[in-house]
């Protein structure tokens, strides 16, 4: 079987690691949001691709959710002295990935080929596929105008009010040609932010239709637990968009696409409402603190599929 | 008075520091070889400009002659793991300078303006002028063909035989317009490699003529002491070019341009030969081990001028 797991940042990467621990490389393929990507200091930064790469390589920083463990910051300190931009933190070792990516892309490789080489050199064996090799850039619409995603997310710390989202380039972007649509046994929508992690993937031209056309079950795992997001601005965005920050609303967001929905134990009472949206519902522990939690949730999802 | 000091790498930077300690910022201007510059990892590396900047900022690494003191190498270690090029060592803090330069140049600043901003942020008060804002690239001619300078110098550790030198772009390059030719009281040719540090400066279109036209005394300090170069491949190059590796031969190289020549104490017996080339000759300690040595040699040179 091939499971296609759609993932964005930290939460998605946690379940991805569980899936990678559970399934051999041939059985699971990760498709990653690149709407967060941006050019910075002349480098191509691909935050979600990097978070997944570092997570699967088991060199991710567990405290921050981004960057590498045991990181040092000499470059950043020196850059500050030179008057450079320091709002986006790049550690000394992390920077090597970005410079390496820059060199490879300047040699003509796409983001996919570059990601593969980098992941391989870190010992990652499971395929990590950027959603597209064509540029897609998420913009957060605010009352004061659109904000490039990293400006909203990192520089402005998610403080601006989100009234909507745009995925520049998505309509012209082609799904990553390496996605094995024809042999999919299931699709997993990892517990990532529905608006800025999963929606950009689905917005890639033809992606949503191609996923639906496979006929494979599509299992979404709720990123909202007890009315809150484990990490990140999902709940805040939902309130700003005028919808309740509940797991049921996340399910509604995926209605018509997902066939299965996994809610957390603390949201067990929402199961009937989710069921009413036309999805089979599973109650499980979705909060992943330990590695074992990650593997357990992956097991729940895989059992569901089978 | 304004002293114009032409300088390349480590040896030149030592005397430059002495001059900077002795003279206020308005009285000495440094003109730096950029023939060593190259593009690497998508960055503009300007080794001699950086060596002088770090030296005057007193953050240079005294052991290596390049890079910064108390440097760390996390970036380089990680880059190696990613399969990146590591023959040119870039420390974590040093890298910040290169990324900052890249950003500033991408914003449209030239190398001169960029150098000024970077030097200022490190507290350097004396003007550092790249010889030209136009690209000049030194190539070392070898029996196996031409080598880009850093490939010869760093990657191949000066092992190839040098049979000549080319300064690509020099004929089209304009001297840095900030060089105060009209108000020069003297020119100092620092004890840098005549072939690959000083000659590229003199090869910039019109530079040699403009220096000669000032009528100011031109004082050259020998980089060869007792038949050896303090650092670098000068003596090796001289042998390969078929000339004796002596201070007299360096003087001959500058004959017709320099009016004064400073030889080291150990080469005192060469003074008459140098004098016969039409230069007034001064014998001094030119080996600069301590900061005091640097200032003393600078004092010797300035006294000569006055």
Q: Is B59 on the interface with A (CB under 8 A)?
A: no
Spatial CA neighbour of A15 closest among A217, A302, A298: A298
pLDDT of residue A62: 85
B46: which 2 tokens?
């300007």
Q: What residues contact residue B63 under an 8 Å CB cut-off, 6+ apart?
A: none
| Burial readout B204-237 (b: 16 or more C-beta within 10 A, e: otherwise) | bbebbeebeebebbbbbbbbbbeeebbebbbbbb
* Residue to substitute from A99, A122, A124, interface B, most B β-carbons within 10 A: A99
CB of A268 closer than 8 Å to CB of A260:
no
Q: Nearest CA of chain A to the CA of B85: how many Å? A: 9
* Predicted complex ipTM exceeds 0.85: yes
pLDDT band with cut points at 50, 70 and 90 for residue A230? confident
DSSP chain A: -EEEEEE-SHHHHHHHHHHHHHS-GGGEEEEE--TT-EEETTEEE-HHHHHHHHHHTT-B-TTTSSSBTT---HHHHHHHHTT---SS---HHHHHHHHHHHHHHHTT--HHHHHHHHHHHTT--S-EEES-SS--EEEEEETTEEEEHHIIIIISTT-SPP-EEEEETGGGPPPPTT--GGGEEEEEE-SS-IIIIIHHHHHSTTHHHHHHHT---EEEE-SEETTEESSSSHHHHHHHTTS--SHHHHHHHHTTT-SEEEEEGGGGGGHHHHHHTT-EEEEE-----SHHHHHHHHHHHHHHH-
Q: Is B93 on the interface with A (CB under 8 A)?
A: yes
Per residue in B168-225, pLDDT tens?
Answer: 999 999 999 999 999 999 999 999 999 999 999 999 999 999 999 999 999 999 999 9
Lowest mean pLDDT among A123-132, A230-239, B13-22, B166-175: A230-239
Q: Is A306 on the interface with B (CB under 8 A)?
A: no
Q: Nearest CA of chain B to the CA of A198: how many Å? A: 29
pLDDT band with cut points at 50, 70 and 90 for residue A297? very high
Per residue in A121-171, pLDDT tens?
Answer: 999 999 999 999 999 999 999 999 999 999 999 999 999 999 999 999 999
Spatial CA neighbour of B132 closest among B109, B111, B106, B105: B111
Determine whether B257 is exposed, middle or buried from the number of CB atoms within 10 Å of its CB (0-12, 13-18, 19+).
Answer: middle
């Amino acid at each position: 079987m091939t499971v296609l797991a759609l993932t964005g940042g930290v939460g998605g990467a946690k379940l991805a690691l569980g899936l990678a621990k559970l399934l051999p490389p041939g059985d699971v393929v990760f498709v990653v949001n690149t709407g967060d990507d941006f050019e910075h200091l002349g480098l191509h930064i691909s935050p979600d691709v990097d978070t997944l790469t570092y997570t699967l390589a088991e060199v991710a920083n567990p405290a921050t959710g981004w960057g590498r463990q045991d990181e040092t910051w000499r470059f950043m300190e020196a850059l500050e002295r030179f008057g450079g931009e320091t709002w986006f933190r790049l550690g000394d070792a992390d920077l090597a990935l970005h410079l390496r990516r820059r060199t490879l892309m300047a040699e003509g490789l796409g983001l996919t080929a570059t990601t593969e080489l980098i992941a391989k050199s870190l010992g990652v064996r499971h395929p990590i596929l950027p959603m597209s090799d064509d540029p897609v850039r998420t913009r957060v619409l605010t009352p004061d105008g659109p904000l490039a995603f990293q400006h909203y997310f990192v520089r402005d710390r998610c403080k601006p009010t989100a009234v909507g989202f745009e995925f520049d380039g998505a309509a012209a972007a082609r799904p990553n040609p390496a996605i094995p649509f024809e042999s999919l046994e299931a699709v997993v929508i990892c517990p990532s932010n529905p608006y800025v992690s999963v929606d950009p993937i689905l917005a890639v031209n033809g992606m949503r239709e191609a996923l639906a056309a496979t006929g494979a079950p599509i299992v979404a795992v709720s990123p909202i637990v007890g009315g809150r997001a484990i990490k990140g601005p999902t709940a805040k965005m939902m309130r700003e968009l005028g919808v309740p920050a509940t797991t049921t609303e996340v399910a509604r967001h995926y209605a018509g696409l997902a066939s299965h929905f996994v809610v957390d134990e603390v949201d067990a009472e929402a199961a009937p409402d989710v069921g009413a949206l036309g999805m089979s519902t599973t109650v499980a522990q979705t909060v992943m603190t330990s590695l074992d939690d990650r593997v357990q949730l992956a097991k729940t999802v895989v059992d569901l599929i089978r």
